């Protein structure tokens, strides 16, 4: 496991990427409305990337599980899709649960964040699901301090999820962030407190709890990217890039 710790100066250099990712996600949530096509949201994100002079982390991304390079700059996961949703021609409908995941490089530093929102009329079950991912993320960030272990972050997520009655899938989770989008360490969404990597100042990670309403089993679409619940239940996803410091963790992708 090759884990790089960032200097305080490097963490400061990562702030513009975090601010830009937050700005784009805020704009996308505002734009997501009934009748808006997922491809329009991707085009909006693409235009903002060009205007900023940033570089997409997704468009040429082709890990071993991907059937092809991603080809878009934004993940758009709708309803029973929860992760890596490949934008396609679909017009958002009233009541859709939309998860947006976005990562870019600005001046050589990466930031990665995700948010779930409801289009039009909210369903209370969807609101609760989204709220739980946000609470799990907040709980995980709160323990991202020197003296704690990586397992404390994972346990915080799992505890919030289980207390709310949800099961947890650990196949996909958080990860190190720096010059590239995905690095060590892997940050599972469940674990045992007091175990694992000691948290040290300069560790920069993306923490990303995601939950499905009534299962922890997933299936993948034929596109080789879009991950859905195995039982058709809805999913939600919340993510921030954070830096461990000598004091409070810094949420680099915090949205206003």
Q: Within a domain: residue 56?
A: yes
Residue 189: name the closest of 206, 171, 217, 170 by CA.
170
What's the domain count of the chain? 1
Contacts of 139 (CB under 8 A, 6+ apart): 156, 157, 159, 160
Q: Within a domain: residue 1?
A: no
pTM for the model stands at: 0.97
Residue 50 pLDDT greater than 90, yes or no:
yes
Task: Print the domain residue range for 24.
Answer: 8-251
Burial 69-85 (b: 16+ CB within 10 A, else e): ebbbbbbbbbbbbbbbb
Indicate the annotated binding residues for a divalent metal cation.
101, 112, 175, 208, 239
Indicate the annotated binding residues.
84, 101, 112, 175, 182, 208, 239
Q: Within a domain: residue 241?
A: yes
Q: Within a domain: residue 193?
A: yes
Q: Which two tokens stand for residue 199?
A: 């948290």
Q: Which two tokens stand for residue 45?
A: 């994100």
- pLDDT band of residue 63 (cuts 50, 70, 90) is confident
Location of structure tokens 């982390």: 57
Q: Within a domain: residue 256?
A: no
Residue 218: name the closest of 158, 162, 168, 157 by CA.
168
Q: Which two tokens stand for residue 115?
A: 């948010």
Indicate the annotated binding residues for substrate.
84, 182
CATH number reported for the structural domain that contains residue 14 in this entry: 3.90.230.10
Segment 104-133, tens digit of pLDDT? 999 999 999 999 999 999 999 999 999 999
Q: Do 227 and 76 contact (CB within 8 A), yes or no?
A: no
């Amino acid at each position: 496991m090759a884990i790089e710790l960032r200097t305080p100066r490097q963490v400061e250099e990562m702030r513009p990427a975090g601010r830009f990712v937050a700005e784009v996600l805020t704009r996308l949530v505002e734009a997501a409305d009934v009748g808006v096509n997922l491809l329009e949201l991707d085009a909006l994100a693409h235009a903002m990337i060009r205007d900023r002079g940033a570089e997409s982390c997704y468009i040429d991304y082709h890990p071993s599980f991907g059937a092809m390079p991603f080809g878009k700059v934004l993940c758009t996961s709708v309803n029973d899709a929860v992760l890596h949703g490949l934008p396609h021609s679909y017009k958002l409908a009233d009541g859709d649960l939309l998860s947006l995941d976005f990562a870019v490089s600005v001046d050589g530093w990466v930031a990665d964040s995700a948010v779930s929102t409801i289009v039009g009329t909210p369903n209370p079950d969807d609101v609760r699901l989204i709220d739980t991912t946000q609470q799990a993320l907040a709980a995980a960030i709160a323990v991202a301090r020197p003296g704690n272990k990586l397992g404390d972050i994972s346990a915080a997520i799992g505890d919030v999820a289980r207390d709310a009655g949800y099961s947890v899938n650990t196949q996909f989770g958080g990860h190190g962030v720096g010059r590239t989008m995905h690095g060590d360490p892997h940050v599972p969404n469940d674990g045992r407190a007091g175990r694992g990597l000691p948290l040290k100042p300069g560790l920069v990670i993306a923490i990303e709890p995601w939950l499905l309403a009534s299962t922890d089993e997933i299936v993948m679409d034929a596109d080789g990217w879009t991950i859905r619940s195995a039982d058709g239940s809805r999913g939600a996803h919340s993510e921030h890039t954070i830096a461990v410091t000598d004091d409070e963790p810094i949420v680099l992708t915090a949205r206003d």
